[in-house]
Every structure is written in C-alpha cells, then in structure tokens.
Amino acid sequence: MKADEAAELMDKSAESDRFKQRAAVMIAAFAMVLAICGLGGSNAGKEAGLNNVLASNYFNFYQAKNLRQAALGLAVDEAELVWLTYPATPEAAKQAIREKVTRYKATIARYESEPETREGKKELMVRAKEYEEKRDHALKQDPYFDYAEALLQIAIVLTSVAIVANLAWLAYFGGVIGIVGLLLTINGFWLLVEIPGLA
C-alpha cells in the first residue's frame, strides 16, 4: 500500500467518524425531545381526564340544584293552592304556611345564584364551562404530541441505521423527520398553529 492510498483511507475514516459523531449527537437530541414530548403528551392526557371529571361534577351539582329548586317550586305552588282552596284555615296555620313559602322562595333564589359560595346554578354553570374549555384545550394538544412521538422515534431509528450503514442521505432524511417531530412537540405545548386533521 502506498502512502497516498493510506492517507486517503485515513481521510475517509476521519470523515466517516465525524459523520457518525454528528449522527450520534442528533440521535441524543431527538431522544431528549422525545422524552419531553412524552411528558407533554402524558400531562395533556391527564389534564383532559381531570378537567372532564371536574366539568361533569359541576354539571351534576347544577342538575341536583335544579331538581331541588323544582321540588321547592312545586312545594310553594302546593302551599299557595292549599291556602286558596281552604279559606277557613286557621290564621296560625296560614302564618306557618306563609313562613314556609317565604323560606322556600329564598332558597329557590339562592339556588339560582349564590355568588358568595359560587354554588348557585349560575355560578356552577360558569365553573363547569371553564373546566370544559380546559379539557378541550388539552384534547387539542394531545394529537400533536402523539404524532411528534412517532416521528421522533422514526427519526432516531433512521439515523441509527444511517450510522451502521454509513449512509449520510438516510441521516439527513431522519433529521428532517426529527425536525418535524420537534416542531409538532413545540406546537403541542403552545398550539401556535392549528394543523387540519390533527386538532
């Protein structure tokens, strides 16, 4: 083997080593983004589930208040009907009925709106809708993380194969796929762009 042939082989070997080092760094970077993406996707799923349960709880609480309010309204109507139907009712009984009707009407009004405790029907509906919005936001985030995870895994595999096969074009292809995965991960956190078919 001549000296110039040996030098040429050494240059190719050094060039191959630089390619492998860069590809390995790219794999490490994509693996890091994949871990962050997995965390974001997991959190989005948990947030969607939690907020769905909270929204459901407030809607159920609203419904319970609505049923109680309707029952009290029927009781008021019945008491007032008894009052009108039996005019000979003793005054003490009429006074007791009036007090009950007044208390029932106050409770009906309190069930409609109770800003102090935020447990009136009006406030419960607002709270339920707030949790629905949070749930919907998390549900919009989740598909971006799912697709990003898949693309990042594919990028890691392609770049790994590129190192073994010493194919630079495959590493570039893996890099492009990984960058798309990175962009989807970023979009999953901040929803900067709504991509049709993913949301």
pLDDT along the chain (199 residues), means of 10: 55 80 97 98 98 98 97 94 84 90 96 96 98 98 98 98 96 98 98 90
pLDDT of residue 11: 61
171 lies in some domain: yes
Per-residue model confidence (pLDDT) at position 10: 53
pLDDT at position 14, please?
Answer: 72
- Report the alpha-carbon distance of residue 110 to residue 113 in Å, rounded: 5
User: Residue 45: its pLDDT value, please?
Assistant: 97
Pull the structure tokens for residue 102.
């007044």
Range of the domain at 100: 3-190
Q: Is residue 136 in some structural domain?
A: yes
d(CA 175, CA 154): 10
144 falls within a domain: yes
Residue 197 lies in a domain: no
In angstroms, what is the C-alpha Rg of the chain? 34
Q: Cα separation of 3 and 8, whole Å? A: 9
What's the structural domain count of the chain? Answer: 1
In a domain, 100, yes or no: yes
Contact assessment for residue 155 and residue 177, using Cβ atoms and an 8 Å cutoff: yes
The verdict on residue 198 lying in a domain is no
Looking at residue 2, what is its pLDDT? Answer: 58
Asked if the structure places residue 196 within a domain, the reply is no
Structural domain includes residue 116: yes
